[in-house]
Structure 1
Amino acid sequence: MTVTADTVPRVAPGFRLQWEPAQDCHVLLYPEGMVKLNQSAGEIMKRCDGEKPVAAIVAELEQAFNAQGLQPDVIAFVEMAGQQRWLAWT
């Protein structure tokens, strides 16, 4: 599926996103293991709640980090995370 500004992503079934103090980062847990996320990935993933479209996630990130033009990077990450089956669309 092509991700657009209207796509509403959520963490896929079988995965759980959580902050891991020992790793000092967000991690994505699944039955076979764990994916350690960098700061950008963690910030995007924690906003993928199945309620907000990508456009709202981008707006939140741009406000939180005083940045502009993040939509292409966020869409690219969401597409990659979907291919990895970390995210699903509602």
Structure 2
Amino acid sequence: MSAHAITPHDRFEIRPPFLFRWEDSQQAHVLLYPEGIVKLNETGGDILQLCDGKNTVGQIIKQLSQRYCAADETTISNGVLNFLEVSHGKGWIRTTA
């Protein structure tokens, strides 16, 4: 994010006109937009699924650490933060109040 670093208290949601959903034909989560489609890997789909404007970044990290049975949250945390920074930079997500 250009204005400030992502904090554990930030909340993100999918930014219109992007539409996040499971696509059977791709067997993956995707982001649909007027000009095309972005096919996400499993981890990217798991992260964006939790970007509902309600979960904080800290909650997303905790949930994914439990899902992936990670004893060390640092690896999960770094991956989530990197993915959110890239997703925000590409305009896929936005912060919520």
Q: Which category of TM-score, normalised to the shorter sequence, fits these structures? A: over 0.9
**Is 1:66 the equivalent of 2:76?**
no
Structure 1: gaps spanning 5 or more residues = none
**Is 1:48 the equivalent of 2:51?**
yes
| TM superposition score normalised by structure 2 | 0.89
User: Distance in 1 between the 2:51 and 2:44 partners?
Assistant: 11
Give the aligned CA root-mean-square deviation in angstroms. Answer: 0.8
The list of structure 1 runs, each at least 4 consecutive aligned residues, that deviate by more than 6 angstroms after superposition, is none
The Cα offsets for residues 19-66 of structure 1, whole Å up to 9 and x where unpaired, read as: 011111000000111000001100000000001110000111111111
| TM superposition score normalised by structure 1 | 0.95
User: Distance in 2 between the 1:64 and 1:77 partners?
Assistant: 17
| Residue 28 of structure 2: aligned partner | 25
| Residue 13 of structure 2: aligned partner | 10
- As a proportion of its length, which structure holds more strand? 2
Which of structures 1 and 2 has the bigger CA Rg?
Answer: 2
Q: Number of residues paired by the alignment?
A: 90
Secondary structure in 1 aligned to 2:37?
Answer: strand
> How far 1:3 sits from its partner (Å)?
1.2
> How far 1:7 sits from its partner (Å)?
1.1
> How far 1:5 sits from its partner (Å)?
1.1
Which of 73, 76, 80 is the matching residue for 2:82? 76
Structure 2: gaps spanning 5 or more residues = none
